């Protein structure tokens, strides 16, 4: 078992997964040797539409789950304090960029 802190996975999930799970001609991925996952990562890299990308990522995360290649063990809680001048504050869901500035309204 390897405990590994993810980095920028929310912003760059493809790059992160590729760095850990992709098989090359010379070696297997850092955390797994899974040809199907490598194939899915290749397919994602060539996907042109957001719908295709989402479908492939669904398959990637199903593969990770089905083969137990990765299991999240910690989810950070995010707390924010605002003033009455802030309306429509929305947490983006990303630890690296927690505030959704497109939806933020300041009086």
pLDDT digits over 35-70, tens only?
A: 999 999 999 999 999 999 999 999 998 988 888 777
Report how many domains make up the chain.
2
For residue 60, give its domain range: 13-66
Query: Phi and psi at residue 91, in whole multiples of 5°?
Result: -75, 130
> Would residue 89 count as lying in a domain?
yes
CB-based contacts of 61: which residues, under 8 Å, 6+ apart?
none
Q: Does residue 57 share a domain with residue 18?
A: yes
Residue with tokens 């630890």: 95
Instruction: Read off φ and ψ for residue 42, nearest 5 degrees.
Output: -65, -45
Biggest alpha carbon distance in the chain?
58
- The per-residue pLDDT for range 77-105, each reduced to its tens digit, is 777 888 899 888 888 877 777 888 888 88
* Shared-domain flag, residues 58 and 83: no
């Amino acid at each position: 078992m390897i405990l590994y802190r993810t980095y920028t996975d929310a912003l760059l999930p493809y790059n992160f997964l590729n760095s850990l799970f992709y098989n090359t001609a010379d070696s297997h991925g850092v955390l797994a040797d899974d040809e199907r996952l490598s194939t899915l990562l290749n397919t994602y890299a060539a996907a042109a539409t957001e719908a295709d990308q989402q479908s492939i990522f669904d398959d990637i995360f199903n593969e990770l789950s089905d083969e137990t290649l990765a299991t999240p063990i910690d989810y950070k809680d995010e707390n924010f304090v605002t003033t009455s001048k802030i309306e429509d504050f929305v947490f983006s869901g990303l630890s690296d960029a927690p505030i959704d500035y497109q939806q933020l309204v300041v009086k």
